[in-house]
Amino acid sequence: MLPTDTALDEQRAARDRFLALVAEVRPDLHRYCARMTGSVSDGEDVVQDTLARAYFLLPELPALPEVRPWLFRVAHHRAIDFLRRYDRRMGEPLADDGPAIDGPQAADDAIARADAVASALSRFVELPPVPRSCVILKDVLGHSLEEIAGLLELGLPAVKAALHRGRARLRQASPEPEAPVPAASPAVARYIALFNARDWDGFRALLADDVRLDVVSRAQRRGRREVGEYVHNYSRRDDWHLRPAVLDGREVVAVLRHADAVAPAYFVELTFVDGRVASIRDFRYVPYIATDARLVLT
């Protein structure tokens, strides 16, 4: 039996209330998940998975939990599931990370925090999962040791030991070499030119018949007809200008608020098959993703 219009309205209202409840926590959830996965895109996948899981768990709880620690506990477990699912574990047990690494301790938390915040996302995936979590929660997000112990369900001595190991390994990690920035591919250059010219007919002609669209956190569409409607919101706005960019070695489309802007506001991921757009993933409605995205304009 299909839900009635009233039931659908109630479902949408409940979802909107939930999203409002978690809105302030989402940027920090993403900072955590992006570093756990080593990718801003994969991190957002884990955030979406976390919110979906939390939304369906909420009615089963006897009382509304404290939102931030509860969501971080869910996010931690979803991130660990992600690492296991894609075989990205570092070859060490998740709860027992081996002996501490010898070496000087960080002079204080401020130095460790500066080191962690400045580190590229890819550096964090070189750490085993538990030290990784401890470093992110303490040095990037500013949680106390007691809070970390509660979130990770570990004893305080285990948290201190894991934090020391994680900090030591992060300091020892070699810096990433600067990769050359390639020019935009012809397919991406064509997409950007059509979009910036507001040539919506040309844009639609570029779409594959079974093109997929994911406007992250808002809507998903499939097929040239439905995805072709995607440009209506952009056609009514003047707060965007597309530029080719590179993110984590992958070609993406950076979106600036205006043509002279220095930093992108967010980005769009594209895939092409036989010169046609096969998928579009637009991060407009999760702008916090650009905070940790090392986008290099080409």
pLDDT in tens, 163-188: 999 999 988 876 666 666 678 899 99
Distance of CA 140 to the CA centre of its chain: 15
- 201 domain residue, yes or no: yes
Distance CA 120, CA 20 (A): 30
255 within a domain of the structure (yes/no): yes
Rounded to two decimals, what is the model's pTM? 0.84
pLDDT tens digits, one per residue of 49-63: 999 999 988 888 888
H helix or E strand, kind and range, residue 67: helix 67-85
Closest of 101, 97, 98 to residue 170, by C-alpha: 101
Is the domain of 264 the same as that of 226?
yes
Do 121 and 203 have their domain in common? no
User: What is the identity of the amino acid at 45?
Assistant: D
Domain end (from 127, 144, 172) = 172
Asked if residue 161 and residue 33 are part of one domain, the reply reads: yes
Neighbours of 169 (CB within 10 A): 20
pLDDT averaged over every residue in the chain: 87
Whether residues 86 and 54 share a domain: the answer is yes
On the 0-12 / 13-18 / 19+ scale of CB atoms within 10 A, 254 is buried
Banded model confidence at residue 298, pLDDT cuts 50, 70, 90: confident
In a domain, 181, yes or no: no
Look at residue 48 in the predicted model and tell me its pLDDT. 94
Side-chain-facing half-sphere of 209: CA atoms under 13 Å: 0
**Domain end position, chosen among 107, 138, 172:** 172
Q: 115-157: per-residue pLDDT in tens? A: 787 788 888 988 999 999 999 999 999 999 999 999 999 999 9
Q: Within this chain, do residues 149 and 216 fall inside the same structural domain, yes or no?
A: no
**Full residue range of the structural domain in which residue 222 is found:** 186-297
The domain that contains 40 carries what CATH number?
A: 1.20.140.160
Q: Cα–Cα distances in Å, from 237 out to 13, 63, 196, 233, 260?
A: 26, 42, 12, 7, 17
Give a yes or no: residue 207 inside a domain: yes
Check whether residue 119 and residue 16 sit in a common domain: yes
Q: What is the CATH number of the domain that holds 194?
A: 3.10.450.50
At residue 88 the predicted structure's pLDDT band, cuts being 50, 70 and 90, is very low
**pLDDT above 80: residue 3:** no
Does one domain contain both 250 and 133? no
Looking at residue 17, its pLDDT comes to 85
Give the CB-side neighbour count of residue 76, counting CA atoms within 13 A.
Answer: 23
Shared-domain flag, residues 142 and 256: no
Using CA atoms of 79, 81, 87, 93 in order, give the dihedral in degrees to the nearest 10: 90
Single residue among 172, 195, 228 that ends a domain in this structure: 172
Residue 69 lies in a domain: yes
Decide if 160 is inside a domain.
yes
Do 232 and 165 lie in one domain? The reply is: no
Quick one: pLDDT band at residue 81, thresholds 50, 70, 90? very high
Between 9 and 212, whose confidence is greater? 212
Q: How many domains does the chain have?
A: 2
Which structure tokens are listed for 113? 């925090």
Do residue 100 and residue 150 come from a single domain? yes
Angle, vertex CA 288, rays to CA 284 and CA 291, nearest 5: 120
166 and 36 belong to one structural domain: yes
Domain presence at residue 178: no
Residue 68 has which token pair?
Answer: 């931030």
What pLDDT is attached to residue 94?
46
Answer yes or no: do 195 and 264 share one domain: yes
Handedness of CA 97, 100, 106, 107 (dihedral sign): positive
Residue 112 lies in a domain: yes
The whole-number average pLDDT for the span 29-39 is 95
